[in-house]
Amino acid sequence: MTEKVKSSMTDKKILLRAVKNSFIKLNPRTQAENPVMLLVYVAAILTTILWIAALMGTKDAPAGYTLSIAVILWFTCVFANFAEAIAEGRGKAQADTLRASRKDVDANRIPSIEEINQITVVSAAALKKGDLVIVRAGEQIPADGDVVYGAASVDESAITGESAPVIRESGGDRSAVTGGTQVLSDWIIFRVTSEPGQSFMDKMIAMVEGASRKKTPNELALQIFLVALSIIFILVTLSLYTYSLFSARQAGIDNPTSVTTLVALLVCLAPTTIGALLSAIGIAGMSRLNQANVLAMSGRAIEAAGDVDILMLDKTGTITLGNRQADTFVPVDGTSEEELADAAQLSSLPDETPEGRSIVVLAKEKFGIRERNLSDKKFTFIPFTAKTRMSGVDYDDHEIRKGAADAIRDYIIARGGTYSKECEEVVTKIAEQGGTPLVVSKNHKILGVIHLKDIIKKGVRDKFADLRKMGIKTIMITGDNPLTAAAIAAEAGVDDFLAEATPESKLNMIRDYQTKGHLVAMTGDGTNDAPALAQADVAVAMNTGTQAAKEAGNMVDLDSSPTKLIDIVRIGKQLLMTRGSLTTFSIANDVAKYFAIIPALFMGLYPGLSALNIMGLESPLSAVLAAIIYNALVIIALIPLALKGVAYREVSAGKLLTRNLLIYGLGGIVTPFICIKLIDMLLAALGLI
């Protein structure tokens, strides 16, 4: 997707924009969108007022101390805004690049395909859904649509970042064109499929810059939980103030606990760390998906990817390489394997298909047979046709044929040859193994069979094993017969398969799993995939696919790589892991800060609390000031982790929970004790307290 953008934390332009936006976001309306940080915002305003009152002679706390608390609280708000702004930075940079690549072009609108000469030149913005437009070589496609006539080479680098052109043609699954791309050769007529301002490019710009990002259900639920915690801590703080006031009066002394201190204490105890980073985590997750060249139409889809437990994958291009390749030569009727390989290689010399080239390569690798010098002999090559279902070569007095078993059998028998039982048995065995048998004959005599097989992608079996550890079931979808599908599924290591797949069978399988409480993800590119994509919880449409498929999906893979679904699941899980880990760390922080601050703050009134002052903080004021400084700095310290995400590991939910509790739970408890003590010592050494 466009030019790759530098890391947000190292790009000066993004950093400067983020700093500027950090202060712009101090707008009360913006702050109100995050209830937890709104509490800090109000606290900053309150302590600022208390500082002004202290300058005017009102007794609450020393003016310098109150000013310090106010400044740190304002910086806490700015740091929280910075976390969100820096997360948005990469997306805004990508959006700027996309806007720069889009031009205001004219469109050649025509009344119908038959009236291509009656062109009306209109602005691209004036095009409406259903209009027919003709685009010639060198012209930019003015809107999204489906090709209804012709074929052309199209440069889609503005969308995908790939310089290699693609073919767009009427009919089939490669008819969709995107506004902003350019026709390089030939010409096409397409029907507009989007209204002005609703094109794929418009949606893409809105999504990558986060303008249309809405809080997901999980995010909203967590925010409600954080608000509830904040309310509890407000009540706790009020209770502490009441007890402090009561105890001071009983002892006949002034209340040593100032409002400024209690406000600072409230901010320290509230879950401000995760409250400040929550939005940044969601935006960064979407940004990571954008970096993978996947456009998510909703944040909900990314979270759903993290919860997916059923993965439906196409066989071709995802599990296999997409082209069958020669695996072995199986001679029959006393023929040597080298003689069979030589004949197979000769018949495949003019065949430029991956299958044909693989036969030549296999013959070379096994027997050192190299391509012949054909200039000194009269070679006549017989091309493959759908009617004959065979190809071959005639030279001197020899005739070699290679093709489907039944086609070669009929050809040989018609010319007085014999089709042996041994050959029939080999053909049957290869078919049962999920391979494709190609029979080779020379001078009307069967030499043997070439075993073509689907080549399983390297490492795909390990990937499926990792997914299985995470509790994700993999299902291979293929149009092959059940016997072939079973053989490939066993070799690839998938958990299940759907053979002879139809749109109805895919849709029914998804619905069946969903009624059992599963979340299903699948990929698709054709109009026939649209019903299943619309039903799936995570539906990844290929950018090269039809408009119907892209509209039915909730994600679009700009690279059109079927294997991308596995990466999407990982990004979704990483998003959930990051949010869970930082939430654990934040809440553990609150517990630690509670036990670090309360003893130091109230041991003057309750001497028994001195036993709990294990940190030996200098004074109540230094304890609060150190804690409030730590509370602000920890937000900045965790921004890189929020943006990058917690390291992804293919482990079970139980092991993941244990790991998070040990690292982020225990770490969240220990870290505040160490950092608050160090800050307290620094403040004392500088003579600030």
- φ/ψ (deg, to 5) at 402: -140, 130
Q: At residue 375, does pLDDT exceed 60?
A: no
Residues of the chain above pLDDT 70, percent: 85
Determine if residue 525 is labeled as part of a ligand binding site. Answer: yes
* Residue whose C-alpha is closest to residue 402's, from 459, 343, 484: 343
**Distances 561 to 292, 293, 523, 542 between C-alpha atoms, Å:** 11, 10, 9, 7
- Ramachandran class of 293: left when φ > 0, alpha when ψ lies in -120 to 50, beta otherwise: left
Determine if residue 652 is labeled as part of a ligand binding site. Answer: no
Task: Give SS3 for 650.
Answer: coil
Q: At residue 1, does pLDDT exceed 50?
A: no
Catalytic residue among 131, 314, 327, 454: 314
Task: For residue 401, give every residue at least 6 positions away whose Cβ sits within 8 Å of its Cβ, in sequence order, or none.
Answer: 347, 382, 390, 391, 392, 408, 411, 440, 441
Q: Both tokens of residue 593?
A: 């800060």
Domains of the chain (ranges; CATH) run 12-93+209-291+573-686 (no CATH), 106-141+144-193 (2.70.150.10), 296-319+457-558 (3.40.50.1000), 324-439 (3.40.1110.10)
Determine if residue 391 is labeled as part of a ligand binding site. Answer: yes
Determine if residue 80 is labeled as part of a ligand binding site. Answer: no
pLDDT band at 634 (very low <50, low <70, confident <90, very high): very high
Give the per-residue pLDDT at 268. 87
Determine if residue 351 is labeled as part of a ligand binding site. Answer: yes
Q: At residue 70, does pLDDT exceed 90?
A: yes
Q: Is 144 a catalytic residue?
A: no
Give the per-residue pLDDT at 71. 94
Region of poorest pLDDT, from 30-39, 354-363, 595-604: 595-604
Give the per-residue pLDDT at 100. 61
The mean of the pLDDT values for the chain is: 82
Element (H, E) at 496: strand 496-498
pLDDT in tens, 637-657: 999 998 888 887 776 667 777
Per the model's pLDDT, the better-predicted residue between 481 and 194 turns out to be: 194
256, 244 in Cβ contact below 8 A?
A: yes
Q: Both tokens of residue 82?
A: 């910075």
Mean pLDDT of 409-415: 90
Identify any residues that bridge with 188 across adjacent strands, giving them in sequence order: 135, 150
559, 641 in Cβ contact below 8 A?
A: no
Helix axes 460-469, 482-492, angle to 10 degrees: 80
Task: Give SS3 for 381.
Answer: strand
Mean pLDDT of 91-105: 65
Mean pLDDT of 190-211: 70
Give the per-residue pLDDT at 37. 92
Give the per-residue pLDDT at 347. 85
Give the per-residue pLDDT at 6. 47
pLDDT band at 97 (very low <50, low <70, confident <90, very high): low
Give the per-residue pLDDT at 211. 44
**Distances 555 to 300, 400, 524, 550, 688 between C-alpha atoms, Å:** 11, 50, 11, 8, 54
Mean pLDDT of 180-184: 84
Q: Both tokens of residue 613?
A: 């002052």
* Full DSSP string of 145-166: EEEEEEEEEEE-HHHH---S-E
Task: For residue 162, give every residue at least 6 positions away whose Cβ sits within 8 Å of its Cβ, in sequence order, or none.
Answer: 156, 559
pLDDT in tens, 216-271: 777 888 889 889 988 988 998 888 778 777 776 766 666 567 888 888 888 988 89
pLDDT in tens, 334-359: 899 999 998 998 888 877 777 888 88
Determine if residue 402 is labeled as part of a ligand binding site. Answer: yes
Mean pLDDT of 303-310: 85
pLDDT band at 511 (very low <50, low <70, confident <90, very high): very high
Q: At residue 407, does pLDDT exceed 80?
A: yes
Round to the nearest angstrom and report the end-to-end CA distance of the chain: 53
Determine if residue 497 is labeled as part of a ligand binding site. Answer: no
Residue 297 per-residue DSSP state: S
Q: How far apart are alpha carbons 635 and 327 in whole angstroms?
A: 57
Which residue's structure tokens are 């880990």?
581
Range among 180-184, 579-583, 660-664 rated most confident: 579-583
* Residue whose C-alpha is closest to residue 533's, from 512, 518, 557, 550: 550
Determine if residue 386 is labeled as part of a ligand binding site. Answer: yes
pLDDT in tens, 119-136: 888 888 888 888 999 998
Per the model's pLDDT, the better-predicted residue between 583 and 316 turns out to be: 583
* Residue whose C-alpha is closest to residue 406's, from 383, 430, 390: 390
Per the model's pLDDT, the better-predicted residue between 424 and 320 turns out to be: 424
Give the per-residue pLDDT at 170. 80
Q: At residue 48, does pLDDT exceed 90?
A: yes
Which residue's structure tokens are 């299943």?
532
pLDDT band at 3 (very low <50, low <70, confident <90, very high): very low
Give the per-residue pLDDT at 162. 58
Q: How far apart are alpha carbons 240 and 230 in whole angstroms?
A: 15
Q: How far apart are alpha carbons 273 and 204 in whole angstroms?
A: 31
Q: At residue 5, does pLDDT exceed 60?
A: no
Q: At residue 508, does pLDDT exceed 50?
A: yes
Give the per-residue pLDDT at 143. 85
Identify any residues that bridge with 145 across adjacent strands, giving them in sequence order: 177, 192
- Ramachandran class of 434: left when φ > 0, alpha when ψ lies in -120 to 50, beta otherwise: left
Determine if residue 146 is labeled as part of a ligand binding site. Answer: no
Give the per-residue pLDDT at 461. 84
pLDDT band at 174 (very low <50, low <70, confident <90, very high): confident
pTM score = 0.69
Q: Both tokens of residue 31?
A: 């702050």
Determine if residue 567 is labeled as part of a ligand binding site. Answer: no
* Residue 303 exposure: Cα atoms within 13 Å on the Cβ side: 17
Mean pLDDT of 649-670: 80
Range among 252-261, 368-377, 601-610 rated most confident: 252-261
Task: For residue 148, give every residue at least 6 positions away whose Cβ sits within 8 Å of its Cβ, in sequence order, or none.
Answer: 113, 132, 170, 175, 189, 190, 191
Per the model's pLDDT, the better-predicted residue between 263 and 203 turns out to be: 263
Burial-class residue 65 by CB neighbours within 10 Å (0-12, 13-18, 19+).
buried
Determine if residue 389 is labeled as part of a ligand binding site. Answer: yes
